[in-house]
Amino acid sequence: MASAPVPPPHDDDEQALLAGLRAGSDTAFETLVRTTSSRLLAVARRIVGSDEDARDVLQEAYASAFRSIGRFEGNAKLSTWLHRIVVNMALMRLRSRKRKPEESIEPLLPAFKDDGHMLQSAGHWEEGADVALERAEVRDYVRAQIDRLPETYRTVLMLRDIEEMSTNDVAALLDTTENAVKIRLHRARQALRALLNERFGTTAAGAAQGASR
Amino acid sequence: MNCQACVEFILRYLDGELPDDERAAFEVHLAKCPPCGRYLEQYRVTVTACKKAFVAPPEACDDVPEALIQAILASRRDV
């Protein structure tokens, strides 16, 4: 996750901050916003894609948090609680958009013969594909491929692999089962591998597999 | 174990969720099937790519615009 320019409060500070929030202290609310908003804006931007929507999501999320701070029981860290609210608001924003009909992910998944062998076995990737990820241009490419995934799969990939939320938390947010989350995540990663194969595949088999998809 | 089962097991293998016997069968298959070995490695690189793709360089980590902070704080008055 992107790092926040302002470090989050330590435990003792967090307890003091929470007490201030519960007491309705203006200073406490301002501290909360100033120490958490940078990281949370980045979270919203990653999920909804645009700066404008991300700013709206952030405002809505804090408004929601301000309304419900009295019900925050302190079982989780404030930052974790806020992260969840932002993710929830960002998902609601995604759902409210007019989306094009979702394409099937099947063409991006490996196909198998009757005997269980891959129809097109995995070819080679260029040396140092992982090192190439240090380049901004390659990271841009990867983000563009993630955006090509069908929305339900992209969402699970974002929440599990990028926001690093637990399977249980993602299942609760998406109102589904943990097993369904695992299946979607596995398919999303497989589909993304096929898309990255278009760039990193070097052998005839690898290139053909990518090009045909 | 065949390639199809091997590929289906990857997520649970990487999460350490395969029972001992299935993990052993998975690893035996990998040892004798280079394409599945490549597939597993590419799957791993894909997961790494996801994580790295969204790591903003330090210079891109801008502060939140002051106007947005003020708008958020002002919204509290409406709550």
pLDDT digits over B37-76, tens only?
999 999 999 999 999 998 865 555 567 899 999 999 998 8
Neighbours of A95 (CB within 10 A): 10
What pLDDT is stored for residue B42 in this prediction?
95
Q: Kindly indicate the confidence band of residue A4, based on its pLDDT and cuts at 50, 70 and 90.
A: very low
What pLDDT is stored for residue A203 in this prediction?
65
- B78 touches A at CB < 8 Å: yes
Nearest to B2 among A115, A129, A146 (CB): A115
Whether the predicted pLDDT of A2 surpasses 50: no
Q: Kindly indicate the confidence band of residue A167, based on its pLDDT and cuts at 50, 70 and 90.
A: very high
Q: What residues does CATH 1.10.10.10 cover in chain A? A: 109-211
* ipTM, 2 dp: 0.89
Provide the CATH number for the domain around residue B67: 1.10.10
- B77 touches A at CB < 8 Å: no
Residues of A in contact with B43 (CB under 8 A): 189-190, 193
For chain A, the average pLDDT equals 87
Q: Kindly indicate the confidence band of residue A43, based on its pLDDT and cuts at 50, 70 and 90.
A: very high
pLDDT digits over A51-85, tens only?
999 999 999 999 999 999 988 888 888 999 999 99
Q: What residues does CATH 1.10.1740.10 cover in chain A? A: 11-96
The per-residue b/e assignment along A55-81, b for 16 or more CB within 10 angstroms, e otherwise, is bbbbbbbbbbbbeebeeeeeeeebbeb
Q: Write out the residue range of the structural domain in which residue B46 sits.
A: 3-78
What pLDDT is stored for residue A76 in this prediction?
85
Lowest mean pLDDT among A10-19, A135-144, A165-174: A10-19
- Give the total number of structural domains in chain B: 1
The residue-averaged pLDDT of A138-165 equals 94
Topology of domain A109-211, CATH: Arc Repressor Mutant, subunit A (1.10.10)
Task: Tell me the three-class secondary structure of chain A, residue by residue.
Answer: CCCCCCCCCCHHHHHHHHHHHHCCCHHHHHHHHHHHHHHHHHHHHHHHCCHHHHHHHHHHHHHHHHHHHHHCCCCCCHHHHHHHHHHHHHHHHHHHCCCCCCCCCHHHCCCECCCCCECCCCCCECCCHHHHCCCHHHHHHHHHHHHHCCHHHHHHHHHHHHCCCCHHHHHHHCCCCHHHHHHHHHHHHHHHHHHHHHHHECCHHHHHHHHCC
Residues of A in contact with B74 (CB under 8 A): none
Highest mean pLDDT among A1-10, A123-132, A150-159, B53-62: A150-159
Chosen CATH of A11-96 out of 1.10.357.10, 1.10.1740.10, 1.20.1070.10, 3.40.50.970: 1.10.1740.10
